[in-house]
Amino acid sequence: MNAFRRVLLILSIGAAFSGTSLAARTVVIDAGHGGHDRGGIPHQRLSEKIYTLDVAQRLQRQLEAAGFRTVMTRAGDYFVGLGQRCAIANGQRNAVFISVHFNSGTREGANGIETYYYSRNSASYAAAVHAQVLRAAGTENRGIRRRGFYVLRHTRIPAVLAECGFLTNGAEGRRECRRRPAALRSSTRTGPRRGRRRDRGARREV
């Protein structure tokens, strides 16, 4: 994915907010993991927490440029508990919540975009976000699913969790790695360590 399409991906998420019937003018952006919580699966070379923060910060800039007010659950590499993330979201009025994650799998070929929601009032919001991100990313559609992840169950405003591709997939991992500084790129590789047994499923965020 070239630089233009990466920017388009971030802009498309912003378009989903303005294109939905929700009247929210505040977007709570939750960069998954952080601090001692790297995210991903054991022995994963690319640290999920770095990439979720990068996407969240880019999304924040694009939404603010479009006139939205944004609230970040974390603005750096530090740990924020799930309850605190929900409390931040629930303290906002006229708002929506998006939790940014990347998927991981022990099967390196796993790829694609997934979007999760829990409450009924989040269904149309999830559909709007998923459609825009999928259209821009041009990768496999893994669907929209209703799941009871903590940040979705305990957030009272409309909320979605977006899995923005697989860091353990060679192509999707390299795409994200190219967005980071050269020093980080040279010290990371995509996928689990060689020699590690692969199994069938992909990780699901909790």
In the predicted structure, residue 182 carries a pLDDT above the cut 50: no
Average pLDDT over residues 65-84: 95
Domain boundaries, the chain: 3-186
pLDDT in tens, 136-181: 777 889 999 999 999 999 999 999 999 988 887 666 555 555 544 3
Compute the distance between CA of residue 121 and CA of residue 138 in angstroms, rounded to an integer: 27
In the predicted structure, residue 116 carries a pLDDT above the cut 90: yes
**pLDDT score, position 158:** 93
How sure is the predictor about 18, in pLDDT bands with cuts at 50, 70 and 90?
A: low
Cβ within 8 Å of residue 19, ≥6 positions away? 128, 132
Q: What are phi and psi of 120, to 5 degrees?
A: -60, -35
**pLDDT score, position 176:** 54
Contact 63, 27 (CB under 8 A): yes
pTM, rounded to two decimals: 0.76
**pLDDT score, position 92:** 96
- Under CATH, domain 3-186 is a member of which superfamily? Zn-dependent exopeptidases (3.40.630.40)
In the predicted structure, residue 4 carries a pLDDT above the cut 60: no
In the predicted structure, residue 90 carries a pLDDT above the cut 60: yes
